[in-house]
Amino acid sequence: MDEYITKKDAEKMVQDGINSYMNAKQFTLSKIPAHKHNGLDVQKIEENDLLPANQYFMNWVSTTSEVFTISKIPNFSLLTFYGVATNGAYGGGPYNEKATIAGEARVGKVFSIDTASGQDYYSSGNTISNFSQACTSAYTDVTSLSKQFVSSSAAYFAFVDSTGAGNTVASAKITAITETSIEITVAITSNWYIRGFLFLS
């Protein structure tokens, strides 16, 4: 007589066998390692297989606004910027007004967060953008101790406010991202420039 096993019966037999084996090996070393998709107990990526970040040294000199595109960037996911902004002719100095800037942009869906619900923060599920950028800067005018400001922005990866009240003298932001390129818009007040390092990963 031929016996037929259903798919459900076969799955149950396999699961019972696994459970029996794991119970028997509960306090000894198992030949079958535990596996969860938590990023910890999976095979690690070899460092040599990673693509290195591209580094650009940027000089943005006084201009009303400039838009440029960096292309041929496979799997772009992170832009990091470290720089300074100063007033006066580029390459000269010393300058009375100066600022340090640190910022970044990340590719990925951005969601709004509902903070009105007390301590339980959660995403509302409303997609705002497919990338996010933010920066901090510290501005000082050496001619006056009262003219020192720190600022932050979630709209730029480089941003300098010279008054603490929204007087933007230098800024740079991503305005568009495709699968192979990024578009950057830079705006600089007359006699200012931004200089720094842009890393693309």
CB atoms within 10 A of CB 102: 16
Provide Rg for the chain, Cα atoms.
Answer: 27
What percent of the chain lies above the pLDDT cut of 90? 17
Per-residue pLDDT tens over the stretch 144-161:
888 899 999 989 999 998
Distance CA(101)–CA(60), nearest Å, equals 14
Check residue 20 and give its pLDDT. 83
Q: Look at residues 165, 162, 169 and name the one whose alpha carbon lies nearest to residue 192.
A: 169
Q: What is the DSSP letter of 49?
A: G
Q: What is the pLDDT of residues 32-59, one digit of tens each?
A: 665 555 555 556 666 555 555 666 777 7
Q: Does 91 have pLDDT greater than 90?
A: no
**pLDDT of 137 over the 80 cut:** yes
Q: Residue 103's pLDDT band (boundaries 50, 70, 90)? A: very high
Q: Where are the domains of the chain?
A: 47-200
pLDDT reading at 100 higher than 90? yes
Asked if the bond preceding 94 is cis, omega within 30° of 0, the reply is yes
- Rounded alpha-carbon distances, angstroms, from residue 98 to 80, 93, 104, 114, 150: 20, 10, 20, 37, 12
Give the pLDDT mean for 6-11.
85
Predicted local distance difference test score (pLDDT) of residue 160: 92
User: Looking at residue 81, what is its pLDDT?
Assistant: 93
Q: Using an 8 Å Cβ cutoff, are 196 and 79 in contact?
A: no
